[in-house]
Structure 1
Amino acid sequence: MKYYIIAGEASGDLHGSNLMKALLQEDSNADIRFWGGDLMQNVGGTLVKHYRELAFMGFAEVVMNLKTILNNIKICKADIEKFNPDVIIFIDYPGFNMRIAKWAKEKGIKTHYYISPQIWAWKENRIKAIKRDFDKLYVILPFEKDFYEVKHNFPVEFVGHPLIDAIQNRTTIDAETFRRVHNLDEKPIIAILPGSRKQEISKMLSVMLSVVTDFPDYQFVIAGAPSQEYSFYEQFLNGKNIKFISNKTYDLLSNAHAALVTSGTATLETALFKVPEVVCYKGGWISYQIAKRIITLKYISLVNLIMDEEVVTELIQEECNTKRIKIELSKILEGSSRETILEKYDVLEKKLGGIGASQKTASLIVASLRQ
């Protein structure tokens, strides 16, 4: 069968690659065409457009790049028509994917959504479009099943979180080799995860690195995104002795003692590696002012949302400053706060449903098509 997959950012590329592997196991004749990244391309199939050409974040940024976004939608629709897939599998990335899904549904193409948009956070009225435009919905957070089925009377499949698979299936590297390969000393590592898009890195990295000199007994290591070159990060280093490791975030987290993490999927990844973290977030002023008026969630990190309590400290906008980061980072380097976080992480992992999300989703997709 023919599968068309659309993933628009780094996390979608990761989950898309694991889904593709599972689809190829379920359907040996699978013909896959996709929008994604390097990880998906390494599995096989045909890459149409790389996500680095699609990643715009925030309200203002989207408006400024509207012409490019609309042109990408036009290209995508034409490519789908030419390929004529049996199903389109959408992975998160709702602003783009929901536009394509509406069009595809009208064309009579089967539409499956893997990793549903976070309409429980904002834009809950999107439920009308989801009910109208998607044949199947696969959710990865435990509270999402009740949100869709109980609150909105829309049946979904809870498949567990694919990050658990991604972490378990990774190729591991021992600590000694990791430090030698990346020229690291024996000091404990504080990982810096400033995000994957240029806009968020520009907002976050300077303030994250502003505390480096306050922790001389630790070494700070930046997790470079696969979509960005070192030269882009270099402007924020200001001559500080800070290590940089590109496209090896899981290796870094495997060896980290603590982390400063920009809000997003990385907060959950860090927790699943059992690394105590401080969550940091700064958005553009206009984007933030709009967001805080329409998003009513108690927390911004997936860790706290899933646990429905403040397991990790969140420093948002003005609170995300040198003084607060120093205080909160100090708390998680040793002592009772650190131990409490690690205990909560164990509970979190159990809530996420265990291994097998990618395989379960692929099996459900293929079975649905064969019916």
Structure 2
Amino acid sequence: MKYYIIAGEASGDLHASNLMKELNVQDSEADFRFWGGDLMQAQGGQMVKHYRETAFMGFLTVLKNLGKIKANFALCEKDVLNFRPDVLILVDYPGFNLRMAKFAKKHGIRVHYYISPKIWAWKEGRVKKIKAYVDRMFTIFPFETEFYQKHNYEVSFGGNPLLDAIENRLNKEEVFPDFIKRNKLSEKPIVALLAGSRKQEIERVLPVMLECVDSFPEHQFVVAAAPSITQEFYASVVGELKVEFVYGQTYDLLQQADAAVVTSGTATLETALLRIPQVVCYLTGGGRLLFAIGKRLLKVKYISLVNLVMDKLIVKELIQQTCNREMISEELNRILFDKEYRSEMLYNYQLLHEKLGGAGASARFAKMIYEDLQR
């Protein structure tokens, strides 16, 4: 079978690569062409564009890059028609992928959506486009299945592929002394800082995270640096503040950390599945007015996936005005030194793990996709 896959960011690259690995098991003649990243490239096939060239976040950034975005659409449409895949597999990234779903449907190409856009939180009206253009939706959270049932659209839940990524991670057995030696870090216990993978969010949230460093002199603060972001960019954001960096080793870093300060998103779930106590930070651009408008449009009670899946407050969420030095320091102090508070969070992490269905999701999804195409 011929598979055309579109992933627009680092998390999409991770999940799509694991899906490709399992599709190769199901289909010995699998032929991949894709938009993605290095992890997908490692599974074989032909990469058309790296997500570094296609990730545009925020209204102003999109506006400034309209020419590039239009050119990317034109290139993708032409490339899909030339490749003529048996299926177009879309991985999250809704701004781009929903338009490609419409295009593929118009040209008689089967469309699978792997990892639903977060329309349950924002822009619920997009469900109409999904029902019109997507032949089959694969969901990774139980609450997503419930959301689509409400809209009379059948979806397939197969568990969460993050469990596979974490279970199969490199350096899984590495111990703290080896990790700090390999990365030239001190012997102090680690607080991991996960500030995202996009420049705009890093610029907003990392300086605020770093304001609490001086309050914890017995710990070293280490940033999980995104491979797509240059050292020069991080240096311009951090300035003279004392902080260390490790590139492309988020799981390795979390595994060795005592606690983590995490920007909202997939990273909150990864941190929880690795059993690391965390505090979640969220800052938007555009000031209080824009945030107030956005808050009224949100359809969910929580911003972190951990709390959303469990449908209760498991990890503290510090949003906008509450995302400041005092509040981050206070919560970090609790998850580091309050044994009862820390134990309760870890217990809820175990319940979260069980609720997500266990390992093997990537293989289950690959089997569903291949069997659907055979039919």
The TM tier, using the shorter chain, reads: over 0.9
> Deviation digits for residues 317-360 of structure 1, max 9, x if unmatched?
11111111111111110222211111110011111111111111
State how far apart, in whole Å, the 1-side matches of 2:276 and 2:93 are. 27
Instruction: Return the letter of the residue paired with 1:358.
Output: S
The residue that corresponds to 2:156 in the other structure is 157
Instruction: Identify the residue that residue 281 of structure 1 maps to in structure 2.
Output: 282
1:328 and 2:331 matched: yes
- 1:290 deviates by 4.0
Q: Structure 1 residue 99 and structure 2 residue 99: aligned? A: yes
Amino acid at match of 2:195: P
Question: Quick one: which amino acid aligns to residue 89 of structure 2?
Answer: I
Matches within 5 A, 1:200-279: 200-279=201-280
What one-letter code is carried by the residue in structure 1 that aligns with 2:42?
A: N
For structure 1, which segment, 19-28 or 329-338, has the greater mean C-alpha deviation from structure 2 after superposition?
329-338
Of stretches 16-25 and 170-179 in structure 1, the one that deviates more from structure 2 is 170-179
Structure 1, residues 148-181: CA drift from partner, whole Å, max 9, x if none?
12x1111111011110000001112332211110
Counting only pairs closer than 5 Å after superposition, residues 53-132 of structure 1 correspond to structure 2 as 53-132=53-132
Q: Which moved more, 1:56-65 or 1:130-139?
A: 56-65
- Whether the 8 Å CA contact 1:58–1:283 is kept in 2: the answer is no
- Residue by residue over 1:202-228, the C-alpha shift from the partner in whole angstroms, topping out at 9 and shown as x without a partner, is 101111111111100111000000111
The Cα of 1:289 is off from its aligned counterpart by: 4.4
Counterpart in the other structure of 1:302: 305
TM alignment of 1:176-215, pairs within 5 A: 176-215=177-216
Q: TM-score if structure 2 supplies the norm length?
A: 0.96
Alignment of 1:329-368 (within 5 A): 329-335=332-338, 336-368=340-372
Kept in 2, the 8 Å contact 1:256–1:275? The answer is yes
Contact 2:20 / 2:43 at 8 angstroms: preserved in 1? yes
* Aligned CA-pair RMSD: 1.2
Deviations 1:47-72 (A, max 9, x none): 10010111122333323322222221
Please tell me the residue identity of whatever aligns with 2:163: I
**1:107-140 CA distance string (max 9 Å, x none):** 1000000001111111111111111101111000
Find runs of 4+ consecutive structure 1 residues off by over 4 angstroms: none
CA distance in 2, matches of 1:107, 1:289: 41
290 and 59 in structure 1: CA distance in 2 versus 1, 3 angstrom threshold: farther
- Asked whether the equivalents of residues 27 and 370 of structure 2 are also in contact (C-alpha less than 8 Å), the reply is yes
In structure 2, what is the Cα distance between the partners aligned to 1:56 and 1:330?
35
> Matched residues in 2 for 1:42 and 1:92: separation?
20
Question: 2: CA distance between counterparts of 1:163 and 1:355?
Answer: 8
Tell me the secondary structure at the aligned position of residue 61 of structure 1.
helix
Task: Find the aligned partners of 1:36 and 1:311 in 2 and give their Cα distance.
Answer: 32
Q: Which amino acid aligns with 1:133?
A: Y
Distance 2:337 2:347 in 1: 14
| Secondary structure of 1:43's aligned partner | coil
| Distance in 1, Cα, partners of 2:48 & 2:278 | 36
Residues in 2 aligned to 1:73 and 1:359: alpha-carbon distance in whole angstroms: 30
Matching residue of 2:19: 19
- Conservation of the 8 A alpha-carbon contact between 1:278 and 1:328: yes
AA partner of residue 146 (structure 2): D
Distance 2:242 2:286 in 1: 31
CA contact (8 A) 1:3 1:88 kept: yes
Whether the aligned pair in 1 keeps the contact of 2:120 and 2:299 (CA below 8 Å) is no
- Give, in whole Å, the separation in 1 of the partners of 2:230 and 2:63: 25
Displacement of 1:195 after TM fit? Answer: 0.3
- Give the whole-Å Cα distance in 2 for the aligned partners of 1:8 and 1:296: 24
- In 1, Cα distance between equivalents of 2:276 and 2:285: 28
The answer to whether the 8 A contact 2:193-2:221 is kept is yes
Q: Distance in 1 between matches of 2:69 and 2:161?
A: 28
CA distance in 1, matches of 2:341, 2:74: 51
SS at match of 1:71: helix
Q: What's the CA shift for 1:186?
A: 2.2
TM-score (norm 1): 0.97
Find 2:316's aligned residue among 309, 313, 318. 313
For residues 140 and 327 of structure 2, the distance between their equivalents in structure 1, rounded to whole angstroms, comes to 32
